[in-house]
Amino acid sequence: MPDSRAHVDPIDRVERIDLIQGDITRLDVDAIVNAANESLLGDGGVDGAIHRGAGPQLLAVCRTLGGCPTGEARITAGFRLPARHVIHTVGPVYRGTERDAELLCSSYRSSLALAAEQARTLNVCQKAEKSGTDRGKTNVYRTNADHRLMAFGLFSGFGDHVSLYLLGTTPDEAYIDEARQFYSWAGAFCSRLPPRYRGLATTLEKLADGFGVYHEVLGHMAAHHMDLMERLSPGQTWHLEHEATKRRCRRSRRT
C-alpha cells in the first residue's frame, strides 16, 4: 500500500507559525531563510547581512553550488551565525503576474521541502556544533561523509540489505547530495585551521565537487578488483587473519 505521506505538500506539514520581529542574523535556530539572488554570492539588504554575519566561509561554499534558479532553494551551514543552517531561496521580482505568483509560491515550497529533507542530517550537525572547535566540526562532517562514500561506492553492489544496515536506507540521490554537502562543510571548516591543514581542506573540497565520480570509481573497484578473498585458499585466509590479529594486539599493548 503506498505511503500517503510521500504526497503531502511541505506547506501542509506546518503546524504552527510564529512571527518574530528582530535581527535574523541573531536567531539561534536550526535554519534561517535567506532571500538570495541567483548567483548566491551575496548582495545588499538581508542577503548581505547574512553573508557578513556568517563570514567568508559562507561565500566560499556558495561558490561551489553553481547558483540557484528563481523559485528553488539551496542549503548551507550557518558558520559564524547562531543559526545552524541557511536556506537560500530566490524569489521573483514581483510584478503581480501569474508567473510571479507561481515562482514566489515555489520558493516557499522549495525552502520548506529542503528543510524537511535535511532534517535527517540534524543529528550529525548537532554533533558537529557540540564539538565546539573547527577541527572537531571538520572531523564530524568528514567522518560522516567518508562513511557514506565508502558505503555507496564499495558496498552498494552487495545488495540493499547492506545499504540498509550501513545507512538506514538505500543510497538514493538525496543521501549522495547529503554526503557531498558534508564534504563541503568539512572543507569550509578545515580551511579555518592552521596552514598545515591546507592540503586536507583542498582534498575535502575536491571530494565535495567530484563526489559522484569518486562514488563510481569505488563502485568499479568493488565490482572488478576486490574479489581477493574469493581467490585465497582457507589456509591463506587464516594466515592473514592471524597476522592481523597479532598486529592489533601489539598496537593495543603499546597504547
Just list the catalytic residues: 47
Place of cell 539551496: 74
Q: Give the whole-angstrom CA distance, residue 84 versus residue 78.
A: 5
Tell me how far apart the alpha carbons of residues 160 and 164 are, in angstroms, rounded to a whole number: 6
Q: Which residue has the cell 534561517?
A: 32
- Residues 6+ away with beta carbon under 8 Å from 112: 10, 11, 13, 14
- Residue 47 is which amino acid? D
